[in-house]
Structure 1
Amino acid sequence: MHSMLVTGQDRLFSYHLTGFCSRHKEMEHEELRRCQIHEWYPRFKPYSIRTLFHPLPDSFVRYLLGQPISPSSNTDDNADAPPFLLPRTTSGRDPLPRTAATHLDPISSLSLFDSESDDDDEEDSKNKKPSFPELELEVERSIATLGGCVFPKLNWSSPKDAAWISTCGNLRCTSFSDIALLLKASDSIAHDLSHSALDSFVLALRKYYDSLHPEREFRCFVRRKQLIAISQRDVTSCYPALIDQKHGMKLLLEKFFDDIVEPRFESNNYTFDVYVTKEDQRVKLLDFSPWREFTLPLMFDWEELEEEGFGEGVVDFRIVESQLAVRPGLKTAVPYDYLDMGEGSGWDQFLKKADEELRTQQVQNSESDV
């Protein structure tokens, strides 16, 4: 009976705890909002890659989510989702061009006698395809302004997980249809659209550079406004030249954080990605991401990054220092579900060797610091 009594002090504690949780959630929401590219880009424009923005119409967002383009066009909740159709474009460009067969097989030859039926089917298919002519025109203009090639992303995510479906195997886009294909095929984009409380979304088109070197891209981890860790961004490869540059690169990124990022970005906990140019060692800001959430820790894991005292005083900078330490990532160029990750599989053995090599590197680094 006595244990059921709730004192005024208990109620006061509960009130403060509820208030703390509410403020904590508000803080997390605010930090997530700040990581949207159109939120941070204006303040960091001189230190980033040129980017143009396009508000996405609701109809295009619904298209990406596999919903009817018009909310009133289908009120049946049990109706099947629209098929995977690329938009009908004014340019007629196809992001997945079909190769013409030199020799027709017998079955294909038979279809020639039914050309009228085929024409009708093709016309029906065209009529079913959604169309976004105004957005397409604006996007095509921006692509031309940015030199003919762009890298697309929405508020937070880019469709990196869909690069495998592109004919070039990356996110290089030269047309609206290229962009629509990547966005439509991306689970990352679908997650952002379906799990966000936002009422509006933007398409960010970033100037694409063929000359970028993946070994010069890094992810920096900031906790309580302190830079605590830096990781090589592409953990799927070992770059021997990077090993010799490690110390100088660390000093360069620490200075960039102190002089540019920390004074301009208000969040306490976050990550940011940068690229260091090869010729003049300039640091280019690529992106901000929320702490944890769905951000990859790369050469770290989130448990160690959140350990009390981790990275305080000395920033932990990790790179892949041997071929055995590489880690599989999005560059596998196939959907994750296609990989056999089961016990005893090739990937399973590979990951175990990679973890062993990483632990060996960490021991060697700690001994050398003593």
Structure 2
Amino acid sequence: MLNKAWPQFAETWIENWPDELLSLSFPHIGIRLEEREVHALAALNGIGCHRFDRCREEDLCALEAKFDGAIRRFPQGAFIRLGSRSPKDTVHGVITRCKAFDGRQTIRLLTSGSERVAYDLRAARKANYPPWVFVRQWADISPEMEFRCFMKNRRLIGVSQYFYQTSFPVLDSPEIRNTIKTVLAEFFAVFSKLSPLDNVVFDVALFLDKAPHVKLVEINPFHPLTQACLFSWHASDFDGGFRFAQSESKPEPFMDFFPLCE
């Protein structure tokens, strides 16, 4: 049973995933932050820094060395994030796509004025919960092949394009859609049994190469604070549909997805 003092939604964070669930995602190295390292990152990040001790150079240097050691395992670069979420809400995060090649770049990503990082470090400290940083093997994910999935009572009640404001012509193909549907169905059959919660919103990336497969990107709370993409948080809107952004060539907003719910 989880400690009630943990921050809300901590069950969805990577460091709390069971090993079997971790195997569905990308290779990574997790680094549990010590209290002085939390203070150093939060102070340097600048958002709400008055709630933390000043940034000490020796603490940053030690943390940089830890990140260097982890990233050496991934010579093609690594995606940097907290266990809770990534610092993609900054200009630097957008430009770099949260990719780093060494410890210094990792620290810069985590300290570039991210509201997300600031909030999560503050919540963790308030709950006396040690946050984690994950150095994740870099993977080039095609934006049209990333999807947000909604699971309630371990049933799939909707799937949406993750980048829901953009239409991708490749997704107009019935063949591609059927392939996505089939591969996701196989993945969901496994994920639904391993999820730590009955109700979650989870993001996946599809790789349609010679052996099509799915990788789990992250798990989010089943809560209105989580972006619903092409759905809305009205209960009646989750109809089991597979929704795509409309395109001029085929203005079809969704396709039937009920077989995944059987």
> After superposition, where does 1:114-129 map in structure 2 within 5 Å?
129=57
Q: Per-residue CA shift, 1:312-352, capped at 9, x if unaligned?
A: xxx2111113279xxxxxxxxxxxxxxxxxxxxxxxxxxxx
Amino acid at match of 2:191: V
CA distance in 2, matches of 1:221, 1:48: 17
Matching residue of 1:328: none
Q: Secondary structure at the match of 2:89?
A: helix
Matching residue of 1:50: 27
1:255–1:213 distance in 2 versus 1, CA, 3 Å: same
Q: Per-residue CA shift, 1:92-122, capped at 9, x if unaligned?
A: xxxxxxxxxxxxxxxxxxxxxxxxxxxxxxx
Structure 2 unaligned blocks of 5 or more: 257-262
Question: 214, 227, 235: which is aligned to 1:283?
Answer: 214
Q: TM-score, normalised by structure 2?
A: 0.80
Matching residue of 1:60: 37
Question: 99, 109, 112: which is aligned to 1:182?
Answer: 109
Aligned residues: 241
> After superposition, where does 1:263-274 map in structure 2 within 5 Å?
263-274=193-204
Q: Cα distance, 1:243 vs. partner?
A: 2.0
Q: Secondary structure at the match of 2:226?
A: coil
Q: Per-residue CA shift, 1:36-68, capped at 9, x if unaligned?
A: 10121622233211010111121221233338x
Structure 1 unaligned blocks of 5 or more: 1-25, 68-79, 88-127, 325-356
Q: Cα distance, 1:130 vs. partner?
A: 6.0
Matching residue of 1:39: 16
Q: Secondary structure at the match of 1:66?
A: helix
Question: 64, 83, 88: which is aligned to 1:136?
Answer: 64
RMSD: 3.1
Q: Judging by fraction of residues, say which structure has more strand.
A: 2
Runs of 4+ in 1 over 3 A off after TM superposition: 128-131, 166-169
CA distance in 2, matches of 1:60, 1:156: 17
Question: 127, 136, 145: which is aligned to 1:216?
Answer: 145
Aligned 8 A contact 1:152 1:204 in 2: yes
Matching residue of 1:298: 229
CA distance in 2, matches of 1:152, 1:290: 20
Aligned 8 A contact 2:154 2:199 in 1: yes
Q: Per-residue CA shift, 1:150-200, capped at 9, x if unaligned?
A: 1111121111112x2259442111122222222122111111122342520
Matching residue of 1:90: none
Identity across the alignment (%)? 23
Q: Secondary structure at the match of 1:235?
A: coil
Q: Judging by fraction of residues, say which structure has more helix.
A: 1
The structure with more radius of gyration = 1
Q: Secondary structure at the match of 2:23?
A: helix
CA distance in 2, matches of 1:195, 1:179: 21
